[in-house]
Structure 1
Amino acid sequence: MMNTPVKPAVKISRSYSGLQKLLHWAVVLTFAFNYVVSDGMGRALRTFLQTGANDSLTAELHVIVGVATLVLMLLRLVVRLIQGAPALPPAPHPLMEKAAHGVHWLLYAAMIATPAAGGAAWFLGLHEAGDIHEVLVNLTLFLIIAHVAAALFHHFILKDQLLKRMAPH
């Protein structure tokens, strides 16, 4: 009789790692900050592209925080690809699971493309990239609202503890 090796039980996490949570909430804060201080960025970009000078602290902060958001999102994507995501509770309908998966990856893409387009406008002088950046901000906001609404639906309607996966404790 042959002894077959016993595979160790795979630990299924119910929560994202501490690093994933830190990156998630850091991106939330940087995106929110830049949204709040975005007034006047079109004018600041035009001035910067025409003169090469920037006399606006708000615009300078917006650019720095935008670069930070891009770096954090790229890091977050790498960590997600390496560590994966915790197991999901059973979905009430298979389409909900597909929608959640799709929105998450669209949100990742939008959160990378948005600051990348802003950076292309600012650092490469591509005015059209500024227009794309504005459209992407609106798309990203729509995806964030859908993401938050789904999280609240899980918490208050389905009561499946899904929201605790990203809780910062």
Structure 2
Amino acid sequence: MAFLSRLRIGRNTSNGAPRSRRIPALIFWSPLALAFGNYFWTVKLISGRSMQPTLNPDSSLWRDFGLFDKFSIRSRHAYQRGDIVAIVSPEDPRRMIVKRILAIEGDTVRTLPPHPDPEVRVPVGHVWVEGDDSFHTDDSNRLGPIPAALIESKLSNGAYGGNFEFRP
């Protein structure tokens, strides 16, 4: 029963540091957290059907979220065919779209409707992106080749579903 004497049931316990120490810590850590999210990695909520079945595999109310790597895109422009990337929408710069890179500059792509040409050669400084569900996506088949400068980040490792189940 000696171990029960170490429990603090009913005793006055503090729930953390006093407020006078928490505020300076908050002031110190907030800019670091902001810089981390702006320049290195960020967590994004992924909604919509365009990347099904890879992301948001069912049509439930749960959405997937993923850890997106900004640093490798900003510093090294490290993207390749097959990467899932977050892109600033060419139509609305306030909106982000998540798509898979299908082709990079110099590649030739067979297009799908509604694109007017049967094949397109991706110009220098551009990528061709498509959603995994070709029937529910606004991608390069409608928008054309996307400037690589609009790539904001890429999905690193995988995504987590609303039930916190990891999917590579």
Bigger proportion of residues as strand: 2
Max radius of gyration: which structure? 2
TM-score of the superposition, structure 2-length normalised?
0.24
Bigger proportion of residues as helix: 1
TM-score of the superposition, structure 1-length normalised?
0.24
